[in-house]
Amino acid sequence: MTAFLQLDFAPLLAAMLAGATCGLLGSFLVLRREALLGDAITHAVLPGIVLGFAVTGARAGAPMLLGAAIAALLASWLITWLRRAARLEGAAATGIVFTSFFAAGLVLLEATGARSVDLDVDCVLFGQMETLLWPQAEGIASLFDATALAALPRAVFLLAGVGALIAVTTALLWQPLKLLCFDPAYAVSLGLPVRRLDVVLNLMLAAAAVAAFEAVGSILVVALLVAPASAMRLLTNRYNTQILGGAALGAAVAALGYMLAGPLPAALGSAHAVNAAGMIGVLSGLLVAAAAFSGRWRRA
């Protein structure tokens, strides 16, 4: 038990928080047909994260979140502007913006020397759940011990904080978001601040991308954003089931993926472990495939 708490509890918790948060947001993206935006924002936040890190010299949550928010807003604005200024279709404009932001972020990673202090390309590409350790855990009592809990890795707190914030915001904005998903024109005619809701969604997306990238890396955040929500879309037509089910599926696939990558093989006596973020991504894809094969969407 102590070994599990010290080695696996923190990454498992981080994965589930990332899965739930991204699964929740992903449902809004899928319903609004903005899955590409999820892909774009998760890539576009990289320079913001790196600069937030470089300016403060520390890998603390607040500067990275702030940098990511600025990068996300700048990217969204640029995409809209490019579509007009360069007469590009949406997908091409989005592609240009997020790839150039991501490339800039990669170069900044090297140029600012960020890689020497534990923010490096491997973390971006593969995540680093395996490094989330909790050495202060000693038996199950630690789960109820405030001092021990306070020593959990910072990434877990960031995920918990961002997750809670997003959950609360979603709950408060439940009806407006629902209207935004199904009838934006009607929402505008009712006087809802549609553009501001858009910005709020983008900011939540950026925050989730920052928090989750520490666990699963930039590219696999896309898996958690799009796959559980897509699977739910194939299984249900009901709004509440879609949104809450997306969150639940995200958490479940993250937990199962993590366990299959390391702890389960170890329990079965195998010395081999595979990358946990990768396993989560693979499972999320299989989930969508299973939902597609189930054929439930045909009977709707």
Partner 1 sequence: MIAHNTLVVLLGCAALGVAAGAVGCFALLRGRALLADAMGHAALPGVVGAALIGAWFGTDPRALPPLLIGGAIAGALGLWAVQALAATGRIRQDAAIGVVLASFYALGVVGLSVVQAMPAGAQAGLSHFILGQAATMRTEDAWAAGLLAMFCVVATVALFPRFRALCFDAEFAALQGLNIRVTDAALMGLILLVCIAGLPAVGLVLVVALLVLPAATARLLNQRLPGMLAASCAIGGVSGVLGALISAGHEGWPTGAAVVLVGTAFFVAALLVRRA
Please, which of residues 72-131 interact with partner 1 by CB under 8 A?
85-86, 88-89, 91-92, 94-96, 99-100, 102-104, 106-107, 110, 115, 121, 125-126
- 35-43, 134-142, 165-173, 239-247 -> range binding partner 1 (CB under 8 A): 35-43
By C-beta, is 54 or 227 nearer to partner 1?
227
Supply the DSSP symbol for 139: S
Among 175, 146, 147, 162, CA closest to 239: 175
39 binds partner 1 (CB under 8 A): yes
Find the part of the chain contacting partner 1 (CB under 8 A) among 132-140, 164-172, 183-191, 284-292: 284-292
**Minimal distance in Å, beta carbon 157 to partner 1?**
26
Q: CA 154 to CA 132: how far, in whole Å?
A: 9
* Cβ contacts of 171 within 8 Å, gap of 6 or more: none
- In sequence order, the 6+-apart residues with CB closer than 8 A to the CB of 270 are none
CA dihedral of residues 130, 253, 106, 162 (deg, nearest 10): -90
Of 161 and 278, CB closest to partner 1: 278
Sign of CA dihedral 195, 201, 202, 204: positive
The four Cα atoms 172, 176, 181, 184 give a dihedral, to 10 degrees, of -160
Q: Which stretch binds partner 1 (CB under 8 A): 52-60, 148-156, 191-199, 287-295?
A: 287-295
CA-to-CA distance for 300 and 287, rounded, in angstroms?
19
61 vs 257, beta carbon nearer partner 1: 257
Least separation in angstroms between residue 223's CB and partner 1 is: 3
Q: Check binding of 264 to partner 1 (CB under 8 A).
A: no
Can you tell me the distance from the alpha carbon of 41 to that of 72, in angstroms, rounded to the nearest whole number? 6
Q: Which positions touch partner 1 (CB under 8 A)?
A: 29-30, 33-36, 38-39, 85-86, 88-89, 91-92, 94-96, 99-100, 102-104, 106-107, 110, 115, 121, 125-126, 219-220, 222-223, 225-227, 229-230, 233-234, 261, 272-275, 277-282, 284-286, 288-289, 292, 297
